[in-house]
């Protein structure tokens, strides 16, 4: 009798574990999210030291020093994270800087046109977005030099999950990127990394975290096409 109960328990446990998304556990290579996030933040810190951000836009002050100070192990871990999330672009120090140049040109063009407004903290917002000033479980977007931060209420996040999966099924290129990054999303240079697989992974993460909170989620979408999702 005890053996039958044990078998039933193990069967239920196995079924439960099979339903837990991979991102709720360790990644397939045994690393956890914090290890990857630490490496990404190291890369961002190095780059940020040599940037100038003003109301006129973003300028790279010393590209040579950025490349010199980037840690190759951090780059390796960034590549691992990208692959885990469905982005198979090869990231190098040179490609990081090339993509940043294109990314900053896109941002600066929108600032020049008045579509983006630079705030005191270096964040940039859609100059017509009234939702930005409604705080707490709300829905608005911020653009930073490193990418896009999207705040979404629980209902907005549920709709985003639907839109992401729908777009992944039928869209490619800019059409898919616009669903990911929003109507004024500054599209990163590495747009060819926005695949159906990557988009569905993003949708899964949003759905998972949104289901564990009543305040919605915060999505950080980086210019190298990796993402991090947290509750608001």
Q: Which two tokens stand for residue 53?
A: 């951000």
The answer as to whether 166 is a domain residue is yes
14 within domain boundaries: no
* CA-CA-CA-CA torsion sign (148, 137, 122, 62): negative
What confidence score (pLDDT) does residue 131 get? 59
Query: What is this structure's pTM?
Result: 0.80
Residue 9, in any domain of the structure: no
Domain that holds residue 205: 20-231
Domain membership of residue 8 (yes or no) is no
Please tell me the total count of domains within the chain.
1
Q: pLDDT tens string for the chain (232 positions)? A: 444 443 433 443 333 333 334 444 446 655 778 899 999 999 999 999 999 999 999 999 999 999 999 999 999 999 999 999 998 989 999 999 998 998 899 899 989 988 888 888 888 888 776 655 555 457 888 889 999 999 999 999 999 999 999 999 987 777 888 889 886 655 666 666 788 899 999 999 999 999 888 889 999 999 888 999 999 8
Domain contains 4: no
Residue 15 lies in a domain: no
Assign residue 78 a region: left if phi > 0, alpha if psi is -120 to 50, beta otherwise? alpha
Q: What is the pLDDT of residue 132?
A: 57
**Other C-beta atoms within 10 Å of 41: how many?**
13
CA atoms within a 13 Å half-sphere pointing along the CA-CB vector of 14:
6
The percent helix, strand, coil of the chain (3-state, each to 5) is 55, 15, 30
The pLDDT, as a whole number, for residue 12 is 36
Domain contains 11: no
Question: Are residues 39 and 73 in contact, defined by beta-carbon separation less than 8 angstroms?
Answer: yes
Backbone angles phi, psi at 231, to 5 degrees: -65, 155
In a domain, 49, yes or no: yes
């Amino acid at each position: 009798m005890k053996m039958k109960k044990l078998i039933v328990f193990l069967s239920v446990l196995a079924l439960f574990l099979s339903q837990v998304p991979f991102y709720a556990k360790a990644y397939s290579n045994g690393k956890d999210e914090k290890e990857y996030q630490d490496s990404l933040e190291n890369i961002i810190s190095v780059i940020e030291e040599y940037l100038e951000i003003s109301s006129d836009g973003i300028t790279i002050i010393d590209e040579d020093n950025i490349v010199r100070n980037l840690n190759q192990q951090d780059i390796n871990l960034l590549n691992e994270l990208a692959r885990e999330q469905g982005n198979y672009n090869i990231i190098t120090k040179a490609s990081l800087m090339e993509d940043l140049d294109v990314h900053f040109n896109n941002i600066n063009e929108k600032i020049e046109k008045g579509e983006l407004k630079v705030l005191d903290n270096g964040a940039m917002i859609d100059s017509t977005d009234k939702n930005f000033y409604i705080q707490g479980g709300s829905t608005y977007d911020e653009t930073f030099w490193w990418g896009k931060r999207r705040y979404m209420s629980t209902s907005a996040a549920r709709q985003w999950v639907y839109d992401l999966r729908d777009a992944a099924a039928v869209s490619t290129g800019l059409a898919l990127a616009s669903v990911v990054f929003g109507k004024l999303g500054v599209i990163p240079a590495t747009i060819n990394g926005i695949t159906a697989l990557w988009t569905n992974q993003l949708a899964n993460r949003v759905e998972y975290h949104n289901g564990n909170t009543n305040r919605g989620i915060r999505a950080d979408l980086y210019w190298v096409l990796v993402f991090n999702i947290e509750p608001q």
